[in-house]
Structure 1
Amino acid sequence: MNWLRDVGRAVRRKKHVSSTQQPSILVRCLSTADLSFVGIGCMLGSGVYILTGEVAAEMAGPAAIISFLIAGIVALFSALCYTECATRFPETGASYLYAYVSLGELIGFLIGWNAIIIRILAVSFVSRGWSAYFDNVIGARVLNFTMDVLLDGAEWEVPLVSSYPDILAGVVSLSATVLVALGTELSAKTGRVFVLINIATVLMVIAVAFVYADYSHLVKHGGFAPMGYGGIIKGAAAGFAGYSGFEAIAFAAEEAKDPKKGLPISVGLSFVTAILVYMGGAFAITVLADWQNINAASPFVSAFEAVDAKWMSIVIAVGALCSMTGGLIACAYCFARAIFVMGRDGLIPAIFARTSTTSHTPTVATMFGGIISVIASIFVNFVALIEFLSLMIFVEFVIVAMACILMRYNPTRDHCGKERNIEHVVQEQKQRQTCNKELSGEINNDMTYQSDNDQHSTSSSTDVQAPRFASEEITPAEMDKRRPTVTAIIEGHEQSCEYNKDLPAESEVNNHDVANGRSCNRFSASINNESIGELTPLLGSLPPTSSQILCQSEKKPGRLLWSSDNPVKTVLSSLLVFIVSTIVIVWIVSYKMEEIRGDNDVLTFILMVAAMLAVTGCVPLFMLKQYTDEIPFKVPLMPFIPLLSIVSNIILMMRFEPLTWIELGVWTAIGLVVYFVYGIRHSKEAGILPITPNRYTQASKTYS
């Protein structure tokens, strides 16, 4: 069963990321304005010209304005979670990175696996929309040519395959991919131009709408909200998809000039702009025409035709094409970074992490994703995949909200979570120097721990004496027997180790540690008293660090078990209880309310138990200490907002058909195969703590 235990440790290992801005092969060239336009371009895309009509004509009527406002606020909850994580870890990867750091390698891989296909298919989907819109403007000449010349008038009838090959969509997708591969700064500036044209178009639409407005349309046929509260919420659920592009800003964290300031500002600007644009667009079409007469496929054109302002159709066409082009560039940028970061971490072949020496962009990842998007643009029928993509986005948002909560309750400075003063730093500096002397051979490098008659004192503020080293001679044969157990203990506790690239006296640190960005006492700073007890019979007593001594001196009797200094497991358990309970509640409320009204005692009891568990699961989150030191941006009202984000996304997820969940399961199963065949063996995190016969002494002392 050792192999099963090893697999269990592997899927739970976490990525070690520095919270400080680190040098990168990618160029930090994106200003706050660039980040804002990336987010706006991805959030608007084709949504403002299509989604507004669908919500107004089929779901909420004139109350579509309220639907988009609600959807924007709910989406902002998720965006705040992304922003805290992105400013805390200013690297590319977004949801994949945050899941990897907080929930482990397997969850991180699956989220990254989903993120790649979401962005690739998003490029293909928008390319199809671009092609259809352009072809409609020129009188369907591209479609007629394709049908007459390539297909002899016969459409394809194959499941999941388009009725005809959309060559124009493939060309558009390829063009966006090539532009992103040529350089981040170039693609950002180009995208900015298209986004500005789009915003100017929407402003012109709103201004002209005021001229032709008939405000009586807002209260005809059932009033302002003809579908009632249910219609508004249904419209908000559909409108939520229009705001889902904000995560593009998180993907750009590693190329932002000042991510800690630029990311929060750009998220705020993007959301304000997107909410105003969506609400303005919904207002314009509902004051120009009766909501029952709006054409959901081309709402702006049909609305202006109703007031004999057909000349606006040209303006709308230009704005729509520019909006979709900006969205294409942003989505292509995202899938390139999603592929690149997984290749860099070794979970997919490392060739995808190669970058161009001239453009400093991940060209291999970009072109690989681009080729897939081109093929999908030409051949795939997206009608059957829209809900599949939406479901994966909602799952991603739930995981990021969980990651945000977990990282807020996870100590980041030292084992006790106490902010270190200068005396603590000096103490740790001395320990590292001792460790470096051992590694350089200045201290006898054998497996004997001599008794230390000198007292190992801590800072003056603690006045606590450290334990002495135990004397025990361990033979090589005995060490071979003990090594698997020692390795198991070390690897089991390494997940909570602090990743620290700001090493003092860096020139003295062993090359192996510098290369991996860890200090000598990284392991000892994270190991707790229980694990020391496990290691003592095997290696003798290990020298304590200042953080351990401080922890022991500050322990208070009677503290509850779940309020330990490293409460990650407790918080994760609480979140799982809360999520499962919320799923049960939402499912019963959504599909079984009629039975509850019919006095179904069993369902009523289940609903009450689920509600009690949901509330109980939240209790530790309000009682445990939050660690907020050096977090540039903090989600306000923690943990309320992330929990609201989780609940909102679960509510939206419950509306999908069983077939959509089956599609997600199939794609996840394919990802599991890829991970266990390749990723688990090639992960860069697998080499974080090498324990081999020749290096055992060095490793054990390095992390002591």
Structure 2
Amino acid sequence: MPVDCGSKLQSFGSKLLRKKSLAEARSLETPLDRCLTVWHLLFYAIAHMAGAGVYVLTGAVVKSNAGPGAFVSYLICGVASLFTGLCYVEFATLVPKAGSCYTYTYLMLGELPAFVVGWTMLSDYIIGMASVAKAFSGTVDALCNHTVSGFFKQHMGTFHHGPSQIFDDTWDMVAVALILSLMLLVVAGANFSLSVNIGLSVLQLLCLATVAVAAFVYGSAANWTAGGGFFPYGISGVVQGATVAIFAYSGFESVSNAAEECRNPRRDLPIALLSSLGIIAVLYVAACLGISYLEPYYELDVNSPFVSAFSRRGAYWAEGFAAAGTLLATGATKLATMYVIPRMAYALASDGVILKCFANVNERVRVPLPGLFCGTALAAVLAMFFKLEFLADMVSMGILLSYFAVGLDLFVLRYLHFASGDKSEVPLRDWASDRLSSSLPWLGTLPGLKRLLGGFVVACFLCGGAVDYAVPQLTWWSWLLGCITLAAVLVTGGLLCAYQPHEVAEMYESPLMPLSPLTTIFINAVMIVKMQFYTWLRFLLWIGVGLILYFSYGIRHSTALEGGDAGAGAGGEYVSLDDTKPEKNNDNNDGKDGANLNEEKRPVLSGSS
């Protein structure tokens, strides 16, 4: 009986950690339409990132956190986002499939961790769409002197539940109208919807460029030094501003969700993702410098800094451009947010972990319509009844979790995924082999590598806790605790750099490996610890709902095979694509461009290295 119970537990555990085949995940066949070019992807990523943060968040960071030196906060966040972006680039070129971090986690860590990441991402996209619609509605209402909200209160009434931090006090029909309008554009198909997105994004960038130039025309350099100088809050203010500004870059990772509809994903995705990060960094720096040049930081209106500042100076034409840019940033260009919702649901449903009806793709428009309609309905309900602040708090945890997971996934891919057996040796770099192998013999073993990785992850979370809770108390023991945890991060991270990464054929490889995954893990672990209690509570409650769905449906209907990827833990390695036969490609790709996927080849896994 104990033996039978143990075998059942082992079987149950294997189901939770079963993995998708990496060879199958690299297949280029798809029921979706591979029609997107690098321009579609570039402006898709820009539209995701260049939202209300350009016109609103910059004012808040400048006024409350860093002063005119806020541009340094955005530069810090840009560099941090670059490391995360490199992790996504490596995976996106290896696995050109929808699902983004969910798919990567399924391949590297197994089904249950992937479901937690995917469920969180799907909810974040839906809640993010509702948040965007609420921001758009608020912007329209503010520009109309609150006549819109007054109209709905007069003709539709209010909710008589008293003051609430969660529920809105009236029907937000403007937000619902925006969500329905974006859904209709997405229904038309990927090529049409993202082509429209290009036009809207270009208009937004032109508005922003005009606003930035106008700020330097109507402003004064004296505003940069007024009220305490260029860095009135000091270095600590710049760092605090960075913790707020980091969310302004969120959204670049969503471009990997379009990999399954990209004509040439292994060429275009790295260009689009990294270029969009650079463009957005320049835009945020220009916005910070421009608004602080236009008006002293302590006089800014955090709700609409550019519009209010231009209005006070009588620059009404510039005010109009700022208002138009704000509407585009919070509304029209959020077509990219609506686009990703059905693709994420499609990825989860294709693996059987949520209802398989969401994997149905309409043959005419090549769009997963069930996911689109359901996501639209949920976003509309959230936007109609809930406050913006409540919705925004729920999104932040999911963003950080997916970033943390992709860093861990990449390290597992490059160092652990192709290892052969628990007792095998792992290759060290030449300098480490010469200097460390004799003094640390366990360093060259697979268990040693796993323990080091686990120690690094734990040290990152402990360091985040020390920075957030202990160090601010300004006592000797709190500083000592902070120094110890930081030293643990540096020591374990330094030892992890001693290992030789596995080279995967036909995949973009970021420089200075493992700097990208380790930096991504550290930054996001620290940020996760800093989340407020109620953010954690909402996140855990939502994960609980997802786990009920998974254990009641997903675990029994998953399409993953028992035993996982044939290449995991079996010394699998990639055969060069030049040695394999061309893969049958989607019929819609014929003759679409000179670098189409007919030239791609399908990878296979060999049994041993």
Name stretches of at least 5 consecutive residues in structure 2 with no aligned partner: 425-436, 565-606
Q: Which residue is equivalent to 1:592?
A: 470
Alignment-derived partner of residue 95 in structure 1: 101
Matching residue's letter, 1:366: L
Is structure 2 residue 423 aligned with structure 1 residue 583? no
Aligned to 2:299: 293
The one of 672, 679, 683 aligned to 2:547: 672
Aligned residues of 1:178 and 1:367 also touching (Cα < 8 A): no
- 1:238-283: CA deviations, max 9, x gaps? 1111110101211111111111110111012201211111111112
Counterpart residue type for residue 669 of structure 1:
G
Q: Distance in 1 between matches of 2:55 and 2:517?
A: 30
- Say whether the 8 Å CA contact 1:41–1:326 is kept in structure 2: no
Give the C-alpha shift of residue 575 in structure 1. Answer: 2.5
Gap change, CA 1:127 and 1:100, over 3 Å in 2: same
Give the aligned residue type for 1:651.
Answer: V
1:392 aligns with 2:398: yes
SS of residue in 1 equivalent to 2:316? coil
Is 1:574–2:579 an aligned residue pair?
no
- Paired residue for 2:224, among 214, 218, 228? 218
Q: 1:560, CA displacement in angstroms? A: 5.5
Contact 1:147 1:153 in 2 (8 A): no
Preserved CA contact (<8 Å) 1:192 1:326: no
Contact 2:140 2:327 in 1 (8 A): yes
> Is the CA contact (8 Å cut-off) linking 2:71 and 2:289 kept in structure 1?
yes
Residue identity matched to 1:580 = V
In structure 1, what residue type is equivalent to 2:171?
P
Change (3 A) 1:381 1:228: same
Change (3 A) 1:352 1:156: farther
User: Which residue pairs with 1:379 in the alignment?
Assistant: 385
Q: Match of 1:231, SS?
A: helix
TM-superposed CA distance for 1:156, in Å, is 5.5
- Provide Cα deviations, 1:625-671, integer angstroms capped at 9, x if missing partner: 31123143112211122212222223323332222212222122222
| Letter of the 2:398 counterpart | M
| TM-score for both structures, normalised by structure 1 | 0.74
1:637 alignment counterpart = 512
Deviation at 1:192, TM superposition (A): 0.8
1:611 to 1:49, Cα distance in 2 relative to 1, 3 A: closer
Return closer, same or farther for 1:286/1:188 CA change in 2, 3 Å cut-off: same
* Alignment match, 1:506: none
Written as runs of structure 1 = structure 2, the 5 A alignment for 1:280-429 is 280-410=286-416
Once the two structures are TM-superposed, the CA of residue 201 in structure 1 deviates from its matched residue by 0.3
Task: Give the whole-Å Cα distance in 2 for the aligned partners of 1:582 and 1:528.
Answer: 25
The answer to whether the Cα contact below 8 Å between 1:355 and 1:363 also exists between their aligned partners in 2 is yes
Cα distance, 1:43 vs structure 2? 0.5
- The alpha-carbon distance between structure 1 residues 616 and 56, as it changes in their structure 2 partners (threshold 3 A), is closer
CA distance, structure 2, for counterparts of residue 612 and residue 686 of structure 1: 42
Structure 1 residues 594 and 50, CA gap change in structure 2 (3 angstroms): closer
Partner of 1:628: 503
Post-superposition offset of 1:327:
4.1
Residue 172 of structure 1 is matched in structure 2 by 178
Amino acid at match of 2:37: S
- Residue 17 of structure 1 is matched in structure 2 by 22
d(CA) in 1 for partners of 2:318, 2:475: 54
Q: Secondary structure at the match of 2:116?
A: helix
Q: TM-score, with normalisation over the residues of structure 2?
A: 0.85
* Offset of residue 576 of structure 1: 2.3
Between the aligned partners of 1:196 and 1:338, the Cα distance in structure 2 is: 26
Distance 1:181 1:3 in 2: 45
Per-residue CA deviation, residues 464-519 of structure 1 (Å, 9 max, x unaligned), is: xxxxxxxxxxxxxxxxxxxxxxxxxxxxxxxxxxxxxxxxxxxxxxxxxxxxxxxx
Query: Alignment partner for residue 271 of structure 2, among 265, 279, 285?
Result: 265
Distance 1:101 1:53 in 2: 41
The aligned residue for residue 10 of structure 2 is 5
Percent identity, please: 28
Aligned pairs for 1:142-161 (under 5 A) are 142-151=148-157, 157-158=163-164, 160-161=166-167
Deviations 1:282-330 (A, max 9, x none): 1221111111111000011112123221232222222122222354211
- List per-residue Cα deviations over 1:517-559 (Å, max 9, x = no partner): xxxxxxxxx77999xxxxxxxxxxxxxxxxxxxxxxxxxx999
User: 1: distance between equivalents of 2:14 and 2:159?
Assistant: 58
Instruction: State the SS of the aligned residue for 1:28.
Output: coil
- For the residues of structure 1 that align with 2:162 and 2:337, how far apart are their CA atoms? 28
SS of residue in 2 equivalent to 1:592: helix
| Cα-to-partner distance string for 1:90-145 (whole Å, 9 max, x where unaligned) | 11111101111111111000000000011101111011111111222233232111
- Whichever residue aligns with residue 81 of structure 1, its letter is C
How far, CA to CA, are the matches of 1:605 and 1:47 in structure 2? Answer: 37
Is the CA contact (8 Å cut-off) linking 2:223 and 2:295 kept in structure 1? yes
Does the 8 Å CA contact 1:402/1:575 hold for their aligned counterparts?
Answer: no
With over 3 angstroms needed to count, the CA separation of the structure-2 counterparts of 1:668 and 1:220, relative to structure 1, is: same
2:250 aligns to what SS in structure 1?
Answer: helix
**Contact (CA 8 Å) 2:102, 2:115: kept in 1 or not?**
yes
Cα shift at 1:672: 1.7
Quote the Cα distance in structure 1 between the aligned partners of 2:56 and 2:344.
27
Q: Which residue of 2 aligns with 1:53?
A: 59
Q: Which residue of 2 aligns with 1:490?
A: none
SS at match of 1:52: helix
Distance in 2 (CA, whole Å) between partners of 1:142 and 1:604 is 52
Instruction: Give, in angstroms, the shift of residue 678 of structure 1.
Output: 1.1
SS state of the match for residue 41, structure 1?
helix
The separation in 2 between residues aligned to 1:13 and 1:197, in whole angstroms, is: 46
Structure 1 residue 74 displacement after superposition:
1.0
Q: Deviations over 1:405-451 (max 9, x none)?
A: 11111465xx7xxxxxxxxxxxxxxxxxxxxxxxxxxxxxxxxxxxx
Q: Which residue of 2 aligns with 1:30?
A: 36
Aligned length: 549
What secondary structure does 2:33 align onto?
coil
Task: Give the alignment's Cα RMSD to 1 decimal.
Answer: 2.6
Provide the C-alpha distance between the structure 1 equivalents of 2:271 and 2:524, rounded to a whole number of angstroms.
24
One-letter amino acid of the counterpart of residue 182, structure 2? A
For the Cα contact (< 8 Å) 1:289–1:306, is it kept in 2? no
- Match for 2:206 among 184, 195, 200? 200
- Find 2:536's aligned residue among 661, 668, 683: 661
**In structure 2, C-alpha distance between the alignment counterparts of 1:585 and 1:152, rounded to whole Å:** 47
The residue identity in structure 2 corresponding to 1:297 is: N
1:79 and 2:85 aligned? yes
Q: Which string of whole-angstrom CA distances, capped at 9 and with x for unpartnered residues, describes residues 343-398 of structure 1? A: 00000011000000101111111111111011111111231242331122112111
Distance change >3 Å, CA 396–CA 289, structure 1 → 2: same
CA contact (8 A) 2:464 2:527 kept: no
Residue by residue over 1:54-97, the C-alpha shift from the partner in whole angstroms, topping out at 9 and shown as x without a partner, is 11111111111111111111111111111111111111111101
Residue type of the alignment partner of 1:149: H
* Alignment-mate amino acid for residue 243 of structure 1: Y
Amino acid at match of 1:354: N
Matches within 5 A, 1:546-561: none
User: Is the CA contact (8 Å cut-off) linking 2:459 and 2:488 kept in structure 1?
Assistant: yes
Contact 2:35 2:191 in 1 (8 A): yes
- The SS at the match of 1:685 is coil
Describe the shift of the 1:288–1:671 C-alpha distance in structure 2 as closer, same or farther (beyond 3 A): same
Q: Choose between structure 1 and 2 for higher RCO, CA contacts under 8 A separated by at least 6 residues.
A: 2
Q: Structure 2: how far apart are the matches of 1:400 and 1:275?
A: 22
In structure 1, the residue matched to 2:579 is none
Alpha-carbon distance, 1:599 to partner: 4.1
Distance in structure 2 (CA, Å) of the matches to 1:643 and 1:129: 34
